[in-house]
Amino acid sequence: MPVSPITIRSWLLASLAGLSCLMATGHTLAATAADIESEFARTVTSLYADSYDEKASIAASLAEMEHPRVDLILSALIEGNLYRERRTDVIVIARSLDDGGYHLTDAVTGEDMGDVGRRGARKISVNNSLRRQLKGLVAGRQLNVGSPSDRIAAIEDIVNAGDEELSDVLRARAEKENDPDVLEAISIALIIFDLDAVDEARKLAAVEASATNLHPLVRRKLTAIAADESEVDELRAAAKTSLAEITRRVERYQMVETLFFGLSLGSILVLAAIGLSITFGVMGVINMAHGELIMLGAYTTYVIQTVFPNALEYSLLLAIPAAFVVSGLVGIAIERGVIRFLYGRPLETLLATFGVSLILQQAVRTIFSPLNRAVATPEWMSGSLQVAQGLSITYNRLYIFIFALLVFAALQAILRRTRLGLEVRAVTQNRDMARAMGIRNTRVDIMTFGLGSGIAGVAGVALSQLTNVGPNLGQGYIVDSFMVVVFGGVGNLWGTLVAGLSLGIVNKFLEPEAGAVMAKILVLIFIILFIQKRPRGLFPQKGRAADG
Amino acid sequence: MKRIGRNLMVAVLLAATSSIATAADTIKVGILHSLSGTMAISETTLKDTILMMVEEQNAAGGLLGKKLEAVVVDPASNWPLFAEKARELIAKEKVDVVFGCWTSVSRKSVLPVFEELNSLLFYPVQYEGEESSKNVFYTGAAPNQQAIPAVDYLMNDIGAKRWVLAGTDYVYPRTTNKILEAYLKAKGVKDDDIMISYTPFGHSDWQSIVADIKKFGNAGKKTAVVSTINGDANVPFYKELGNQGISAEDIPVIAFSVGEEELSGIDTGPLVGHLAAWNYFMSVDAEVNDDFIDGWLDFIDDEARVTNDPMEAHYIGFKMWVEAVRKAGTTSPSAVQDAIIGVAVPNLSGGIATMMPNHHITKPVLIGEIQDDGQFDIVWQTPGTVPGDAWSDFLPGSRDITADWQQPLSCGNYNVKTGKCSGQNYE
């Protein structure tokens, strides 16, 4: 690399800094401080290297320096915020601006350098292996600071980086560490490092100790040892025993995991179908626009996030009532505008609502563009909950499962405990008789349809976290929703719950064996056969209501 | 007979058109891209690209002393309508060349029309190969210009030993995976080390498949995923990977259908570090690319827009056609077909693209890592350019077939073993 003006510039800066130190403190101290500064500046500048290997070794030497800005620069590099200014070649930390340009800060001095345009700075690129090494380096530095949970995360990063030198950092930390959890994490990490040890006895001990360790790296390394012909027989046998134990545990967890996947898929089916269960089941209206009401709920989430960009963490909580109102009102408009003229004519209703669904899709295309909209996932819904080592449950699925149960409970409460629920049930059982008893069934129709539609909107909020928010979102769920309602028994909320969850579980247990496409087909065939046998579904309505 | 019929039809149409004089003053360029329906997301950009190229060409003085005139039709993501609109462009509007199509099924739909009416189609999207028509110029990548080098990269640079081939269930992923499977086996990869999984269009529940990939990847060898997953099913896929704690550092995913356009406007957090293989990235460091991007942002008047690989393919295709017309001195399809073979124009990554006798072009192959700003960092690229291979060398049926549209062979699928040319041999 040729000596660029920047190198000279940073040396100058560094010597200036040294000069001021010189005046303040003493001769020797100042000289070393100036050395550190200039060494630091030179290392940072050389980060704009051609090969990733070069960058890695420069970063490693940077990590060994005692300079207050090292952590800042390393994390900027990991996050891809480290750039080189185009004209002056100064290494800078950049913050993206809305117009595509950047706001720059000098990486070495922290000096503000103002804004540049889109082409004003070139990024210092990192690739996967460099990123992993950098994380290890940062973790090694952070091991001595931060809270116990930060330290455990740092240890995990060190293990993943697999840098042998960092195992010494771990050992050093283990001597000073007081927190039992951190100590345990360190000992597990050290066992993993020992799996690569040169010393046979240490390696054997590590292999034997790994039998209960479900860390993916352990399994990978044990398999490698067991398959390696050059290893001692004793070691390979031990590796096989440990592997067998690990496999046994993993398989047990996999059962639990599949069950959870099934419940999660089921809860989504329930959410999507439960609104339909009310409009179709209770009112007998075949609403083909149900999927679009779900879509509107998802778009409401998007709008809420756009309007309140700073309240991302709470946006979903805010979106739930908003989506209920939006989809509910649109539902009422559909009921008033179309469906009420068609009560008792299911085929016409089907066609008319299908038309409505197309209108809603096109409206969304016109207003929001045909492109998918990005709905952000709040922090508390990302990642997974580690139930045990080797078994973790993703937060978004967990929350949505709980949410589905809450929505179900709330609906049940409305239908069983409120006056509206009583009236709805009365109208469902016998429309004319209910009218004769003084129930205003127009009002009941409006409220019921609004309720079912609103619930669809709420389902849309949940779906916005799982799938793409676009004009076609609803189409993907309409068939599934009808399937669940018909399978569960028309007009029965419990049926919808049981049907949704069981279809989800069946689907997920079939999927690993049959593949995603085939599993869907098999489930559909199963339902067709089931309906042949029991046309009224799992929980048929009995008595007079069934005659309606 | 056919030719007489065609000439007759042309004559009738000519007589019917009142604007014969103006028609002679311009050269018409047809644009056959969906502007509505599901494919509008991707194809609208390509329509704008050609419009920009036409505008630039006119500003530079037109072609053969005439101005270019773009004729835009909307086949609305409807495959049979593609054929109808193609016929309308060629027979009614009498365009001299057509730039269009995205999906393979739309290309297959218009192919007979172009061959019957002997017109020219420039097709700008990466595709599964196994085709070479006299009337089509494939400016996107053939499998050996995208999929095979990507696998080589994973094998040699990342050290991948186990392979997951995940795709959406339709023709492009199935053919590509068939080629890749044969290729991997030829490289000594065992059956146990290959996992193939197909999912329906728009699949959103990736829990089990990601769990399977995780399990498959923990079996002791470095694992990589080769993804031909289509369009927006990618977002929940990558999200699920992130949620289940699989990072690009553990199991890298290399995608063939995820580009800048697909990444714009989505939350790229969970995708960072995953890979994509293309022949062009917006982040390519070349003067010509910077000029192209500036021109595009200027034309579209929106700083947030991106450029992508199929746009580059259209850029190259358009320049090649212009060159060939200049060389032939006429826009007549037959003359252009002969003239365009061997035509070389600059591509946007600082190299040269040449039209091959099999109607495919030479392209560099780039591997990029996704960054949090939706752009790609180029981590690897082929030293030179790779010529496109119409018929894959790794499929038993197509190994012996070559395409060469020069005399004396002049055939799109010539079997070197039997010495026979079958199909697609009009004229």
Q: Which residues, including other chains, have CB under 8 Å from residue B359's CB and lie 6 or more apart?
A: B132, B133, B134, B136, B137, B138, B390, B403, B405, B412
Query: What's residue A331's pLDDT?
Result: 95
| A396 and A448 inside one domain | yes
User: Picking from A233-242, B130-139, B316-325, which range would have the lowest pLDDT averaged per residue?
Assistant: A233-242
Query: What's residue B265's pLDDT?
Result: 64
Nearest-by-CA chain A residue for B376: A125
Mean pLDDT, range A489-514, rounded to an integer: 89
User: Picking from A209-218, B125-134, B173-182, which range would have the lowest pLDDT averaged per residue?
Assistant: A209-218
Under the banding of pLDDT at 50, 70 and 90, the label for residue A19 is very low
Compare CB distances from A216 to B218, B266, B304 and report the shortest one's residue: B218
Query: What's residue A288's pLDDT?
Result: 92
Tell which of A97, A126, A155 closes a domain: A126
- B368 — contact with chain A (CB < 8 Å)? no
Query: What's residue A29's pLDDT?
Result: 55
ipTM of this complex prediction, to 2 decimal places: 0.73
Under the banding of pLDDT at 50, 70 and 90, the label for residue B1 is very low
Tell which of A189, A214, A231 closes a domain: A231
Distance CA B228, CA A487 (A): 34
Query: What's residue B426's pLDDT?
Result: 35
Decide whether B2-141+289-363 matches B144-284+366-387 in CATH topology: yes
| A409 and A269 inside one domain | yes
Query: What's residue A79's pLDDT?
Result: 80
If one counts every other C-beta atom within 10 angstroms of the C-beta of residue A406, the result is: 11
Strand partners, B320: none
pLDDT above 90 for A357: yes
Query: What's residue B315's pLDDT?
Result: 97
If one counts every other C-beta atom within 10 angstroms of the C-beta of residue B291, the result is: 11
Under the banding of pLDDT at 50, 70 and 90, the label for residue B17 is very low
User: Picking from A212-226, A467-481, B211-225, which range would have the lowest pLDDT averaged per residue?
Assistant: A212-226
- A238 falls within a domain: no
- B298 — contact with chain A (CB < 8 Å)? no
- B190 — contact with chain A (CB < 8 Å)? no
| A543 and A410 inside one domain | yes
Q: What Cα–Cα distance (Å) separates residue A333 from each residue in A24, A338, A428, A454?
A: 77, 8, 21, 12
| A525 and A451 inside one domain | yes
Under the banding of pLDDT at 50, 70 and 90, the label for residue B24 is low
Nearest-by-CA chain B residue for A250: B215
Query: What's residue A40's pLDDT?
Result: 85
Structure tokens at A352: 């008319």
Distance CA A71, CA A82 (A): 13
Superfamily of domain B144-284+366-387: Response regulator (3.40.50.2300)
| A353 and A402 inside one domain | yes
| A16 and A117 inside one domain | yes
- A179 falls within a domain: yes
Residues of B in contact with A305 (CB under 8 A): none
- A212 — contact with chain B (CB < 8 Å)? no
Q: Write out the E strands in B33-102.
A: 67-73, 97-100
Instruction: Tell me what the pLDDT averaged over chain A comes to.
Output: 83
| A288 and A344 inside one domain | yes
B2-141+289-363: CATH number: 3.40.50.2300
- Count Cβ–Cβ pairs < 8 Å, chain A vs chain B: 139
Query: What's residue A70's pLDDT?
Result: 84
User: Picking from B25-34, B110-119, B262-271, B337-346, which range would have the lowest pLDDT averaged per residue?
Assistant: B262-271
pLDDT above 70 for A6: no
- A242 falls within a domain: no
Instruction: Tell me what the pLDDT averaged over chain B comes to.
Output: 87
Query: What's residue A77's pLDDT?
Result: 85
If one counts every other C-beta atom within 10 angstroms of the C-beta of residue B71, the result is: 17
Counting every residue written for chain A, the total comes to 548
- A240 falls within a domain: no
Give per-residue pLDDT as tens, A41-55.
888 888 888 778 888
| A296 and A225 inside one domain | no
A100/B373 CB distance under 8 A: no
Q: What Cα–Cα distance (Å) separates residue A67 from each residue in A55, A74, A108, A137?
A: 19, 12, 10, 14
| A93 and A167 inside one domain | no
Query: What's residue A236's pLDDT?
Result: 83
Contact B230, B203 (CB under 8 A): no
- A378 falls within a domain: yes
Using a pLDDT cut of 70, give the percent of chain B over it. Answer: 92
Compare CB distances from A160 to B211, B243, B249 and report the shortest one's residue: B249
Query: What's residue A28's pLDDT?
Result: 54
- A431 falls within a domain: yes
List, as ranges, residues 42-81 from A with C-beta within 8 Å of B. Answer: 52, 79-80
pLDDT above 70 for B410: yes
Query: What's residue B366's pLDDT?
Result: 94
Q: Which residues, including other chains, have CB under 8 Å from residue B149's CB and lie 6 or more apart?
A: B277, B365, B367, B382, B386
Q: How many helices (H) and strands (E) does chain B have?
A: 13, 19
Query: Which is more confidently placed, B61 or A228?
Result: B61
> Distance, in angstroms, between B371 CA and closest chain A CA?
8
CATH at residue A307 = 1.10.3470
| A390 and A285 inside one domain | yes
Mean pLDDT, range B136-165, rounded to an integer: 93
Q: Domain containing A192: what range? A: 130-231
pLDDT above 50 for B406: yes
Distance CA B403, CA B412 (A): 4
Query: Which is more confidently placed, B268 or A543?
Result: B268
Count of structural domains, chain A: 3
- A56 falls within a domain: yes
Query: What's residue B423's pLDDT?
Result: 57
| A83 and A136 inside one domain | no
List, as ranges, residues 13-72 from B with C-beta within 8 Å of A. Answer: 36, 38, 40-41
pLDDT above 60 for B414: yes
Q: Return the domain boundaries, chain B.
A: 2-141+289-363, 144-284+366-387
Mean pLDDT, range B50-79, rounded to an integer: 93
Mean pLDDT, range B350-373, rounded to an integer: 92
Query: What's residue B282's pLDDT?
Result: 93
Tell which of A76, A111, A126 closes a domain: A126
